[in-house]
Amino acid sequence: MHILDFISAEPSGQATLQLGELTLALILSSLIGLEREFRAKSAGLRTHTLVGVAAALIVLVSKYGFTNVIAQYEIVLDPSRVAAQIVSGIGFIGGGLIFVQKDIVRGLTTAAIIWLTAAVGMACGAGLPLLAVFVTAAHFLVVFGYRGLEQRILSAHAELLVRYAPGKGAVEKLMQTCTGRGFQIQALTVEQDDPASTDETRTIHLHVQGRGGVEPLVLSIGDIKGVASARMMVPERSKG
């Protein structure tokens, strides 16, 4: 078959099929963006939707946008090269979502989801709707299903005993430290000190739950200004 006959048999790239692929990219990327929006992440509904639809459009342009050049100069194009550039270019957006606050890295999950959204859009533009739908469903499985799995497998429970000096903001900083290290305070009790005691410090009994090491958390709490001591209580069954 002559190349001109081959080109004439190719779709124009602006038919109902391509509009359907863009619409699918719009719907799937919007669903992913809604999940991020509900969690109040820095990249939400609009960002994910635009990334997904743009990725789909770029793939479609790569597939159908250069047929006139091929017909005129008999040039063979490789659409996969454009797809590879999307994968590389989306890293700039993802990199802008990752930031470090003290020693805690934030935004990694959102950056990964931006990358996934681009892949979903690329699959839609490439005419692979089943794969696009599957990956979108896998996204929700990971985000919602794996959270409970992480909490069950990797969750750590600990009871801490902290002595602090009132009036120095130690309690507020203590709560910020726990939250910053991924721990939730399940219970907080201020123990009643002996009225006859001359010790000006007070004691807090904390029950925390979260991911990560408890020992680094205890060390961080001990470094807070106004905290006299911090230690992890040993459960009764572990004593002896």
Read off the pLDDT of residues 114-147 as tens digits, 9 standing for 90 and up.
889 999 999 998 889 999 999 999 999 888 887 7
Low-confidence ranges of the chain (pLDDT < 70): 1-12, 66-80, 99-105, 148, 150-155, 192-199, 212, 234-240
d(CA 8, CA 14): 14
Model confidence, pTM = 0.56
pLDDT of 27 reads 94
pLDDT of 191 reads 77
pLDDT of 8 reads 44
pLDDT of 145 reads 81
Token pair recorded at residue 218: 């205890």
Spans of all domains in the chain:
3-152, 155-238
pLDDT of 74 reads 60
Query: CA of 157: how far to CAs of 17, 95, 148, 176, 186, in Å?
Result: 53, 33, 15, 18, 9
Is-contact 54 125, C-beta < 8 A? no
Considering the domain 155-238 in this protein, what is its CATH number? 3.30.70.1150
DSSP label at residue 203: E
